[in-house]
Amino acid sequence: MKKPHVVIVGAGFGGVYTAQHLVPYVKKGLIDVTIINQTNYFLFTPLLHEVATGGLSGRSVTESIRHIFAGTGVLFHQGTVESVDIKKRELVVDGKHMSYDYVVLATGAVTNFYGIKGAKEHSLVLKNLSDAVEIRERIIDAFEDTSSVDIAEKRKKDLTFVVVGGGATGVEMAAEMAEFIDMLYSRYFDGASTIQKDDISIHLINMGAEVLSMLDQTLRIKAARRLEALGVTLHMNTSVTEVTSDRVTLSDGSSIDTSFVFWAGGIMPISPACISSSEPVCIGGKFVVDTFLRMKGEMDVFVLGDTACVETPDNKGYPALAQIAVRQAKIVAYNIMASLGHQPLRVFSYVVRGTLVSLGQWYAIGQVFGMTFSGKIMWWVWRTVYLFNFHSWVKRFKIAFEWTEGLFTSRDITKLR
């Protein structure tokens, strides 16, 4: 008899963990599982900012999907899903058709520019490995290109770095950039170029009154003080109205001359085109799901992570966190097997255990079960938690080695392209 075929679209936290929870059933010969992803690796996105600032190598934050599932029976197909025909139970992958019995949509999200003029065309983002490499090399190039410039105004513009967004991504990036840039100047360009210390500036633009609005106020204050101590200028209650190749215009009428803008102002889900007799409900690009994480009105389509609109008791929804996608993956895998066995399904509910944010080397803040922590110990906790979210011990060892090496050596400034 033909085994039920489960197709998982996306190999982020949601997709990979769903597949891992299904591995025992694949090994028992009960189902077939295929993962479809555009790249052949799982990307540990929470550490991308360290790749972008020379703290980690690109290989450290990736794991081959085939390596993760070697010997498990889980199949992998590298490609792009163009559409999902729910009525026919069929996907179109790079022009070819693939049938399924159950499909899991875990396609993640991309940067949201909110239609702000020039933002998409002139901003850097951090969603994949190539983005991290480009950011790192743009920072290095800014110093190399201005190292012999005699005009102070040009040096100041080219060495002005703007970060848009006061959430975790923006704050972590601003802190890491500040340390990377300080190292670049003090170690390699101070006294060996025309660059002066006051040529360099880093700005963080945030719409809210404080950074990291999801954390307790004591941590928000500590984060702001830490950023200012690192030399970051904070622009609170301010939004961006336009971005050009050499300027950022702000809502208060002021502007910042710069050719480097990093955008961390929000995300929007990647929702593959779904074709069905009754078009699935979609809100803000997210598919509405029931309490079992099934697409509303569909029994064999599961959605999780940034692509799922999950109702919560407070109607605020769940934040875009890896820990939520990991928990959803366990429920999705269980409910697929329960559906096959005509057993009761489990309802998804989750309370965020905590949030950790790094603010450069030796400093992190965290809120765990309502308690707040900060400082060096929290930095070690942050690193330990992230380290054990990697799948293989080999990868954990390599990252631990790089982190340890980084405590005694300067960050790598070798250009990769």
Listing DSSP states for 97-116 in one string gives EEE-SEEEE---EEE--TT-
State the pLDDT at residue 315.
61
Q: Which residue in this structure is represented by tokens 């919560």? A: 312
Strand (E) or helix (H) holding 233: strand 232-235
Strand-pair category, 273-275 with 267-269: unpaired
- Mark out the alpha helices in 287-351 (DSSP H runs): 322-340
In CATH, which superfamily holds the domain spanning 5-38+79-111+267-352?
FAD/NAD(P)-binding domain (3.50.50.60)
Residue 328 pLDDT greater than 80, yes or no: yes
Strand-pair category, 75-78 with 267-269: unpaired
Residue 30 DSSP class: S
Range name among 48-52, 334-338, 347-351 with the lowest pLDDT average: 347-351
Range name among 39-43, 308-312, 324-328 with the lowest pLDDT average: 308-312
Strand (E) or helix (H) holding 260: strand 260-263
Asked if 208 and 236 count as a contact pair (C-beta separation under 8 A), the reply is yes
SS3 150: coil
Q: Which residue in this structure is represented by tokens 């550490």? A: 47
Asked if 346 and 292 count as a contact pair (C-beta separation under 8 A), the reply is yes
SS3 333: helix
pLDDT-derived band at 2 (thresholds 50, 70, 90) equals confident
Asked if 253 and 239 count as a contact pair (C-beta separation under 8 A), the reply is no
Q: Which residue in this structure is represented by tokens 């803040």? A: 365
Name 176's Cβ contacts closer than 8 Å, sequence gap at least 6.
49, 50, 52, 53, 55, 358, 360
The strand order across the sheet containing 240-243 reads: 240-243, 247-250, 255-257
Strand (E) or helix (H) holding 99: strand 96-99
Residue spans in the chain of domains classed CATH 3.50.50.60: 5-38+79-111+267-352
Structure tokens that stand for 51 in this block: 């790749």
Report the distance separating Cα 221 and Cα 270, nearest Å: 34
Q: Which of 314, 306, 284, 283 is nearest to 296 (CA)?
A: 283
Range name among 13-17, 232-236, 377-381 with the lowest pLDDT average: 377-381
State the pLDDT at residue 353.
80
Residue 389 pLDDT greater than 90, yes or no: no
Residue 277 pLDDT greater than 70, yes or no: no
Residue 348 DSSP class: P
Residue spans in the chain of domains classed CATH 3.50.50.100: 119-265
Q: 226 burial class (0-12, 13-18, 19+ CB within 10 angstroms)?
A: buried
State the pLDDT at residue 67.
93
Residue 281 pLDDT greater than 90, yes or no: no
Residue 189 pLDDT greater than 70, yes or no: yes
Give the distance from CA 284 to its chain's centroid.
19
Range name among 106-120, 130-144, 146-160, 392-406 with the lowest pLDDT average: 392-406
Q: Which residue in this structure is represented by tokens 């011990």? A: 393
Report the distance separating Cα 417 and Cα 412, nearest Å: 14
Report the distance separating Cα 139 and Cα 52, nearest Å: 9
Q: Which residue in this structure is represented by tokens 């409910």? A: 335
CATH of domain 119-265: 3.50.50.100
- Mark out the alpha helices in 28-94 (DSSP H runs): 48-52, 65-68
Residue type, 403: W
Residue 320 pLDDT greater than 90, yes or no: no
pLDDT-derived band at 359 (thresholds 50, 70, 90) equals very high
State the pLDDT at residue 58.
86
State the pLDDT at residue 242.
98
Residue 1 pLDDT greater than 90, yes or no: no
Name 409's Cβ contacts closer than 8 Å, sequence gap at least 6.
none
Report the distance separating Cα 243 and Cα 246, nearest Å: 8
Residue 117 pLDDT greater than 90, yes or no: yes
Residue 8 pLDDT greater than 70, yes or no: yes
State the pLDDT at residue 313.
67
pLDDT-derived band at 416 (thresholds 50, 70, 90) equals low
**Long-range residue pairs from 184-191, CB within 8 A, at least 24 positions apart, any chain:** 184/139, 184/140, 184/143, 184/413, 185/143, 187/410, 188/143, 188/413, 189/143, 189/147
Q: Which residue in this structure is represented by tokens 């019995």? A: 101
State the pLDDT at residue 279.
64
Asked if 365 and 359 count as a contact pair (C-beta separation under 8 A), the reply is yes
Report the distance separating Cα 274 and Cα 298, nearest Å: 12
